[in-house]
Amino acid sequence: MNPSVQPNFGEAVLGRDLPEPLERALRQAGEHRADPVLAMAALMRAMALAPDHPAVLIALYRHYFYGHQLACARDVARRALFVATQALGLPALWRNVPPQALAGARDDPATRFFLFSLKGYAYLSLRLGDAGEARDALDLLQALDPEDRVGGALLETVRLRRERHPNGQYEDDLDGADAAIGQEGALHG
């Protein structure tokens, strides 16, 4: 599968060529990380300017993720998946994306944005106790990224351990996955 990417989407994923007001709002959100209210105000300004821009979705996802608002972060990941499928010319619903390796998994920013969004969605589904959703997302991620360029195999290992030991014995595995997701930026690797 070799989807056609919308022009400039890859540049947008990388945060390049942002309009000045959008760049300012995202910068202010970052400057106010320690104050969630001010950070959210800046993010809302960014959302008003460009609600489907990858840089805005990445910033909003990180705000919720690091603020431990996992359900909100998953909603943003779901939105990012939709935006990415549209940019890549894939079916709008991630579940309808054909389970075939994506050629750009190694170095195409738009493809990697989609894959990292799917990984973040799977992780958050697992964290929120939605094991079936996590399994389905990870199955697709493995098919789309068989060389594991975005590191979905770690989450699949954690998911399988949790499935085999539902008594919570492997809860610490998710804490390790938290660190791995956080280090790579979740939606953006």
Q: What is the pLDDT of residues 27-48, one digit of tens each?
A: 999 999 999 999 999 999 999 9
- The rounded distance, in Å, linking the Cα atoms of 68 and 126 is 14
Tokens coding 16: 């390049």
Q: Give me the pLDDT at residue 176, please.
A: 58
- At residue 117, φ and ψ (nearest 5 deg) are -65, -40
Q: Domain 9-184: which topology? A: 1.25.40
Q: Give the predicted TM-score (pTM) of the model.
A: 0.85
68, exposed or middle or buried, with CB in 10 Å at 0-12, 13-18, 19+?
Answer: exposed
DSSP H helices, the chain, are: 9-13, 20-31, 36-49, 54-66, 70-88, 109-127, 131-144, 152-164, 171-184
Instruction: Please tell me the distance from the alpha carbon of residue 38 to that of residue 41, in angstroms, as a whole number.
Output: 5
pLDDT confidence of residue 130: 94
Q: What's residue 17's pLDDT?
A: 73
Type of residue found at 23: E
pLDDT score for 29? 96
Residues of the chain below pLDDT 50: 1-7, 182-185
Counting beta carbons within 10 angstroms of the beta carbon of residue 158, is it exposed (0 to 12), middle (13 to 18) or buried (19 or more)? buried
pLDDT digits (tens, 9 = 90+) for 110-134: 999 999 999 999 999 999 999 999 9
Task: Kindly list the domain boundaries of the chain, sorted by start residue.
Answer: 9-184
Q: What pLDDT shows up at residue 6?
A: 47
